[in-house]
Amino acid sequence: MPARLVLIGLDAVEPTLVRRWAADGTMPALASLLSRGTSGSVRAVQGFYVGSTWPSFSTGLDPAGHGFHRIEQLEVGGYEFARPLESPAGVGGTPFWARASAAGQRVAVLDVPLTRLETDLNGIQMIEWGCHDSVFGFHAAPPELANRLLETVGPYPVPGNCDAPRPAAADFDEFARTLEHAVQLKSRLTRDILAQDEWDLLIQVFTEGHCAGHQCWHLHDPSHPAHDEAAFAVASDPVERVYRALDRAVAEIVEQAAEARVIVFSAHGMGSYRGADFLLAEILYRLGATTRPEISLRLPSTLGTRVSGRARAVWSATPWSIRERLRPFRARLATTGPPGARGVEAWADVGTSRCFPVPNGGPVSAVRLNVAGREPRGLLQPGSEVSAFCDQLAQELLAVVDERTGAPLIAAVTRTDELFSGVRRDSLPDLLVVWNDVVPTGSLAHAGGRGAVVRARSATIGVVEGRNSYGRTGEHVDRGFFVSVGQGVPAVERSDPVNVTDFHPTVCSLLGLPTGAVDGKAIPELAAPLL
């Protein structure tokens, strides 16, 4: 038997599309699995589903337990940004494959996003051969595996970051064909590794649907403000094309792993781009919650857009072998804030600001409180003063409307403490600003590539205007799906969603392993230990 348990991740694949295209025959492999296995919805991590998804999936911990919400995030006890995946402390928790390895089981861990390479696993691991988010570049353990993989399937054909200007319709067709080819290569790689050993656990994650969703949602969705009929006529629907390729890959892997328990899953999904994160700093300035710095390092938005767009184009045209050598240096040059800045002091005077915005993700923005005793120059006293400030700020933010429609621009403002508690809670932002998904905020694809203008208004801030210069037309949603097949798995659809943290204890239960102290719970229909 080539494997006992096989997990196939379809990163950021939208569950509503999977079910629609399974029903109409577009995705026959998923249709077959859904008809004969246990399936259900996945609830992603509240507030942090853009960045915390994969650490929560692998460790079974909420963000306050593992402390990760972004590749670069604010360092506890200061105002600078750090990269927790690269720090000695790393991310909290233990991945389920490490538990399996420690128990003497054979594991193959392939391209799980936002994962560090573990050189002492009882098996093999590769990271970032083909991932949407690149931190370390392509590495493998044992080291000779990297050369063997390159000899077998060659380099990954898609750049490590899919963001790039695509001015011509043919660019999207070429992009879709490249993603389809990448799926084929990853399927071949997975099946080759399946055949090499008798694995207790094999996990492979396909990130091509992630890239297609971010870059091509406007071609998929005819109601999208940036929908381009001319580009659609050339490239068709790149999202559907990539999903078809993923369906074929699932069919090939499931056929080869016929005797294994198989779980196919997407831990979060994709929808139309939304949110006005680019307005939050100005709104906080107008509210008096954040003070502008005396000297701003922010580049003019139009210049920043041109510079970053040209840099991405140059990177995309660079040969793969050179990109791989430069990738670790490129990653370290990336910043979370305005170009040239490595800390919040680029956009806030931390000595007089009661809070300041920090990067978190498009759909849900984040605010860090400047708390006395936690931040070096903290102003807000813990307890009643923090609570009163949060209540007042939430009230002011919820009063902001989109001037075009009159609809609230912000749907909710939530305190992180109301969602999560854990040993690494201080690694997370304090307030989460959830943008209203019924208010279209466009993208760089609007207005001839100049980006859509958004005007926010309230009695306190007056009118705040900004141009959305972000190139993506699709953005994450906090829903996913799963389906499992294999001996003894009932054909049933769960009515209640499972949490992304539930996969860790479920895998541990299937493999007869202790879960440790985790936040998730084993999925009852799947949790009986494998024979």
Q: Which two tokens stand for residue 109?
A: 């861990």
Instruction: Classify 456 as helix, strand or coil.
Output: strand
Residue recorded with tokens 């990109």: 323
Cβ count within 10 A of residue 387: 13
**DSSP state at residue 299:** P
Cα–Cα distance, 185 to 154 (Å, whole number): 8
Cα–Cα distance, 22 to 43 (Å, whole number): 21
Instruction: Classify 158 as helix, strand or coil.
Output: coil
158: left (phi over 0), alpha (psi -120 to 50) or beta: beta
List b or e across 485-511, with b for residues whose CB sees 16 or more CB atoms inside 10 angstroms.
bbeebeeeeeeebbbbbbbbbbbbbbb
Cα–Cα distance, 477 to 473 (Å, whole number): 13
Cα–Cα distance, 457 to 459 (Å, whole number): 7
Q: Which two tokens stand for residue 356?
A: 């300041």
| H or E segment and range at residue 214 | helix 208-220
Q: Which two tokens stand for residue 394?
A: 């939430």
Cα–Cα distance, 210 to 11 (Å, whole number): 6
Q: Which two tokens stand for residue 262?
A: 């198989």
Annotated domain spans of the chain = 3-272+475-526, 277-471
Cβ count within 10 A of residue 64: 23
**DSSP state at residue 86:** G
Q: Which residues contact 456 (CB under 8 A, 6 or more apart)?
A: 276, 279, 283, 400, 401, 402, 403, 409, 463, 464, 465
CATH architecture assignment, domain 3-272+475-526: 3-Layer(aba) Sandwich (3.40)
| H or E segment and range at residue 249 | helix 238-256
Computed over its alpha carbons, how large is the radius of gyration of the chain? 23
141: left (phi over 0), alpha (psi -120 to 50) or beta: beta
List b or e across 452-473, with b for residues whose CB sees 16 or more CB atoms inside 10 angstroms.
bebebbbeebeebebbbbbbbb
Instruction: Classify 22 as helix, strand or coil.
Output: helix
SS3 content of the chain, % helix, strand, coil (to 5): 35, 20, 40
**DSSP state at residue 408:** B
pLDDT by residue for the chain (531 residues), tens only, comes to 568 999 999 999 999 999 999 999 999 999 999 999 999 999 999 999 999 999 999 999 999 999 999 999 999 999 999 999 998 888 999 999 999 999 999 999 999 999 999 999 999 999 999 988 888 999 999 999 999 999 989 999 997 678 888 888 899 999 999 999 999 999 999 999 999 999 999 999 999 999 999 999 999 999 888 888 988 999 999 999 999 999 999 999 999 999 999 999 999 999 998 889 999 999 999 999 999 998 654 433 333 333 344 444 454 445 444 544 454 444 444 433 333 346 999 999 999 999 999 999 889 999 999 999 999 999 999 999 999 999 999 999 999 999 988 999 999 999 999 999 999 999 999 999 999 987 767 666 655 565 678 899 999 999 999 888 787 899 999 999 999 999 989 999 999 999 999 999 999 999 999 998 999 999 999 988 886
Q: Which two tokens stand for residue 196?
A: 């090499």
Angle at 15 between CA 13 and CA 18, to 5 degrees: 85
pTM score, two decimals? 0.90
Instruction: Classify 224 as helix, strand or coil.
Output: coil
Q: Taking a C-beta distance cutoff of 8 angstroms, is the pair 265, 485 a contact? A: no
Measured between its terminal Cα atoms, the distance across the chain in Å is: 12
| 228 to 342, 361, 396, 493: CA distances (angstroms) | 37, 26, 37, 37
